[in-house]
Each structure stands twice: as structure tokens, then as C-alpha cells.
């Protein structure tokens, strides 16, 4: 299958020639979270969405994809079909139960053994390429690359040094073991995939990555699922008042994602505009994750302390059409994260025609066009967020303008576009890997 594609690195765009042959079969490593899990709770989030959609898009192009993830239940089948052409292999490693990310490094030996054992049942050369997601998977991919003699492509999704530089108050820093592990993967991978140019620069500046190996491939959005729709119909489906002022947060409940910033902003908003008390609804959609598991009721308690418990509604993680209803029902979707490699929630909300107010961090300035499809806030202060949210939610004309632009902005991104660029990166990784294997000719 020969296809011409364009992928970018820090040295500019590269055109992959039409004679490029895509891999027949790709081994995708996702140690700590499965694409079969519901995003929004535990460790499941944007990475799950990314792996799922790019794997399905590759399968539509005739490429077989096998995703290796850790088994968390004895009832999980050894192999499950995610979609035609996409298999999920559940590898036993440690107890059959969810483990925290700090517990997973101890299980890497058994997980790696399971991955290598699965390949050993096939003829040599069964997999053409390894794509690892998150640093734990990169450690496994590094060994698989050397054992199988195939290229390793790695996507970090988040970086410890970046997260530690932007910690929420009271949050725990990422451990030194992760920092070292990430550095090792950066040095060993044949190609590194960054979600945005900002992340690409961070890989080079903070981890001394070779710029020629860093490729920027922006994530996409499901433009068939996330589409504009009736706000009133969405509110009826969710049991929300038709005339409410709805501010929504969707994602994992943890300090890094900063849903507390939205609660503080709502309290500021009511202090400035007490007449909104009967209309304001703060919708929090998601479940505890990461360090948020240590105090699973903290957000509810904060709402009570701030005096906005009656205005705050909590919903479990939503998927598919139900998540789209959440976006459509909102006047504004807030993404107040302290660190965000991209921000898929922001893109999904905009695709549904809902403006986004987001923190001006990481990849969010790419996901949100400031002043066009939403607003970016340079701080996490409740007062600043209240002002930004009010300037959109309480000004119908302004909101309508941003909503129309949000749909157009989101249409620039698609999983088809992401996958094409990713395949271009695979081709570049294969060239780099095989050129390195060529013996030097003695002169």
C-alpha cells in the first residue's frame, strides 16, 4: 500500500514518498490502562481515546494492530477484539486488580515476559513496529525493539518534568524513577511523537531529545460522534433546567485536572452576581483518579464549604452519545488543568458547538483558539476564571459567535488526519532504524 503523507519534526515537514510501505502489523503497548476502559476515571483518559481511534483508523487501512495491556481481572479474556483488525491482549502481571502507577514498575518484568511470549508463538518478523504509550510502556518497548529487531515509536502523553514544574497545591510530585525512566526511553526510541510543538520543544529542552527524531502529530476528535445539537434536548436528557446557566467539567477528578478551580470560580461568580444562585448549575462529570483517589470526597466537601453544594451536580464518567449530551447542555466547558499535553475534552466540546474556557498551559493553546473558539486563562485564580466564564456564559451574542467558531476550529482535527501523520512517522522510524543496521562499508 503506497501512500504519500506528510509528518513534521522540529526540522520542518517531511514528505513520505508514495512508494512507502506501511507496516503490516503494529504492536501497541499500553501497560497501565486499556483502550477498553471508560475514559474519565481511574487511569483511563485521553490516552485511551487516542489509542482506540488511531488503532481503528490503521485497521481501516489494512494494518493489523495488537494492543498489549495489563490484565486487571481474572475474568478478562486473554484476547479481545476492540474492532475488526484490532486486538487487545490482556497480559497477566501482578495481582488481578487495578494498581496505582507507583506500583506498576515492580510488575514490568512479568509484563515484558508476557509480551515477548506472545510474539514467540509466531514466526520471526511477526510485528513490524512497536508503538509505546507512556513511559512504563516505553520501558517494555525498548526491550521488545531490541529483541524483535523492529523500530520503536514512543508517545509520552505526559512528562514528569513538565508536571512537576506545574503542580497543583498539595499534589505529589512525580517520582525520580519516572524521570529517569522517561530519559531512558527518549534516548532509546527511534522516533518520539509529540502532541504539539510545545511538547516537542519540551522533549528537546528538558530531555535532550535529538530534534530529528521528534515528530509533532496533533491528536484528533471523533467528528461523527461529537457534533452540534440541541442544547434544550440535551438538558432534558440530563434533567437540567432549560434556562439554567451551565458550567461543565469533564475528566478525571484529580488535582492535576483542577476541577476545584471551577468550583472556586462558581463561588466568585455567585458572590458577584447573587441573582444567579437560582440558575447556576456546575456540572462535574468524571471519577476519582491518581492522587484524587486519596480523598475521593474532597470535591464534594469543597462545594459544601464554598456554599455551592446546591448548584453542583456530580455525574459518573460518560461515554459516547451521553458525553456529547453533556457538552451540548453546557454554556461553557471548563478545562482548568495545571498541565495538559493536548486536551481532548476541549476539542470534543468545541466539536459539539460549545465554547471552552481553558488554562493557558501545555497543548491547550493549540486545542483552543483564544478569542475565536474560546478563551485561555493565564492563571488558576478563582476570580480570573469567574470573569472569563461570565464573559462567555452570560453574554448570549458572544457565546453564539464563539460556538460557531468552535465547530469550525474542531473540524481542523480528525483521527483520520492524525493517523495519516502517525503512519508517516512510522515510515520515518523504519528508515532510521534500518539505516542504522546497515554495516559500514570499509574503504
**48 is known to lie in a ligand binding site:** yes
Instruction: Identify the weakest region by mean pLDDT among 194-203, 283-292, 341-350.
Output: 283-292
Q: Is residue 337 domain-shared with residue 242, that is, in the same domain?
A: yes
Q: What's residue 260's pLDDT? A: 96
**257 is known to lie in a ligand binding site:** yes
- State the pLDDT confidence band at 439, using cuts at 50, 70 and 90: low
Q: What's residue 171's pLDDT? A: 80
**386 is known to lie in a ligand binding site:** no
Identify whether 7 is part of a domain.
no
Q: Are 359 and 341 in contact (CB under 8 A)?
A: no
Q: What is the pLDDT of residues 359-383, one digit of tens each?
A: 999 999 999 999 999 999 999 999 9
Phi/psi of residue 281, nearest 5 degrees: -130, 125
* Cell 510502556 sits on residue: 137
Q: Are 291 and 172 in contact (CB under 8 A)?
A: yes
Q: Is residue 344 domain-shared with residue 431, that is, in the same domain?
A: no
Half-sphere exposure of 370 (CA within 13 A, CB side): 12
**101 is known to lie in a ligand binding site:** yes
Structural domain of 348: 231-411
Q: Is residue 127 domain-shared with residue 109, that is, in the same domain?
A: yes
Q: Is residue 99 domain-shared with residue 203, that is, in the same domain?
A: yes
What pTM value is reported for the model? Answer: 0.87
The CATH number for 145's domain is: 3.40.50.2000
**How large is the average pLDDT for residues 328-355?**
95
Identify whether 38 is part of a domain.
yes
**How large is the average pLDDT for residues 208-227?**
96
Instruction: Identify the weakest region by mean pLDDT among 108-117, 228-237, 432-441.
Output: 432-441
Residue 339 in grid coordinates = 498541565
**How large is the average pLDDT for residues 188-198?**
95
Q: What's residue 438's pLDDT? A: 61
Identify whether 371 is part of a domain.
yes
Total domain count, the chain: 2
**295 is known to lie in a ligand binding site:** no
Residue 22 in grid coordinates = 506501511
Identify whether 339 is part of a domain.
yes
Q: Are 66 and 27 in contact (CB under 8 A)?
A: yes
Identify whether 225 is part of a domain.
no
Q: What's residue 130's pLDDT? A: 98
**58 is known to lie in a ligand binding site:** no
Q: Is residue 261 domain-shared with residue 170, that is, in the same domain?
A: no
Q: Is residue 379 domain-shared with residue 254, that is, in the same domain?
A: yes
**How large is the average pLDDT for residues 285-297?**
67
Q: What is the pLDDT of residues 83-135, one digit of tens each?
A: 999 999 999 999 988 887 788 888 999 999 999 999 999 998 999 999 999 99
**47 is known to lie in a ligand binding site:** yes
Q: What's residue 39's pLDDT? A: 61
SS3 284: strand
Q: Is residue 192 domain-shared with residue 307, that is, in the same domain?
A: no
**340 is known to lie in a ligand binding site:** yes
DSSP for residue 21? B
**354 is known to lie in a ligand binding site:** yes
**147 is known to lie in a ligand binding site:** no
Amino acid at each position: 500500500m503506497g501512500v504519500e503523507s506528510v509528518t513534521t519534526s522540529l526540522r520542518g515537514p517531511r514528505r513520505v514518498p508514495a512508494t512507502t510501505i506501511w507496516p503490516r502489523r503494529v504492536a501497541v503497548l499500553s501497560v497501565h490502562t486499556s483502550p477498553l476502559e471508560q475514559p474519565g476515571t481511574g487511569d483511563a483518559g485521553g490516552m485511551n481515546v487516542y489509542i482506540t481511534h488511531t488503532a481503528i483508523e490503521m485497521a481501516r487501512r489494512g494494518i493489523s494492530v495488537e494492543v498489549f495491556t495489563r490484565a486487571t481481572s481474572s475474568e478478562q479474556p486473554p484476547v479481545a477484539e476492540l474492532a475488526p483488525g484490532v486486538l487487545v491482549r490482556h497480559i497477566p502481571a501482578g495481582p488481578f486488580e487495578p494498581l496505582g502507577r507507583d506500583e506498576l514498575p515492580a510488575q514490568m518484568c512479568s509484563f515484558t515476559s508476557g509480551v515477548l511470549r506472545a510474539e514467540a508463538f509466531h514466526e520471526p518478523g511477526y510485528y513490524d513496529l512497536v508503538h509505546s504509550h507512556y513511559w512504563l510502556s516505553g520501558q517494555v518497548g525498548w526491550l521488545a525493539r531490541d529483541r524483535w529487531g523492529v523500530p520503536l515509536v514512543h508517545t509520552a502523553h505526559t512528562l514528569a518534568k513538565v508536571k512537576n514544574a506545574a503542580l497543583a497545591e498539595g499534589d505529589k510530585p512525580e517520582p525520580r524513577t519516572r524521570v529517569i525512566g522517561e530519559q531512558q526511553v527518549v534516548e532509546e526510541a527511534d522516533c518520539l511523537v509529540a502532541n504539539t510543538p510545545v511538547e516537542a520543544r519540551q522533549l528537546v529542552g528538558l530531555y535532550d531529545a535529538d530534534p530529528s527524531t521528534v515528530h509533532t502529530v496533533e491528536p484528533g476528535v471523533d467528528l461523527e460522534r461529537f457534533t452540534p445539537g440541541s442544547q434544550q434536548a440535551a438538558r432534558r436528557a440530563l434533567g437540567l433546567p432549560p434556562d439554567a446557566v451551565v458550567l461543565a467539567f469533564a475528566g478525571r477528578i484529580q488535582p492535576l485536572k483542577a476541577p476545584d478551580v471551577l468550583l472556586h470560580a462558581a463561588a466568585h461568580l455567585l458572590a458577584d452576581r447573587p441573582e444567579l444562585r437560582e440558575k447556576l448549575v456546575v456540572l462535574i462529570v468524571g471519577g476519582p483518579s491518581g492522587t484524587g483517589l486519596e480523598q475521593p470526597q474532597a470535591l464534594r466537601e469543597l462545594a459544601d464549604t464554598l456554599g455551592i453544594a446546591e448548584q453542583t451536580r456530580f455525574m459518573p464518567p460518560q461515554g459516547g452519545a451521553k458525553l456529547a449530551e453533556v457538552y451540548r447542555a453546557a454554556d461553557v466547558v471548563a478545562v482548568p488543568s495545571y498541565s495538559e499535553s493536548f486536551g481532548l475534552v476541549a476539542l470534543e466540546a468545541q466539536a459539539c458547538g460549545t465554547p471552552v474556557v481553558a488554562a493557558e498551559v501545555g497543548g491547550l493553546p493549540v486545542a483552543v483558539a483564544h478569542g475565536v473558539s474560546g478563551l485561555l486563562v493565564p492563571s488558576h485564580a478563582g476570580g480570573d476564571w469567574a470573569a472569563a466564564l461570565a464573559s462567555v456564559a452570560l453574554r448570549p451574542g458572544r457565546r453564539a459567535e464563539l460556538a460557531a467558531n468552535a465547530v469550525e476550529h474542531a473540524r481542523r482535527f480528525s483521527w483520520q488526519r492524525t493517523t495519516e501523520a502517525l503512519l508517516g512517522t512510522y515510515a520515518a522510524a523504519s528508515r532510521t532504524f534500518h539505516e542504522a543496521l546497515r554495516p559500514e562499508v570499509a574503504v
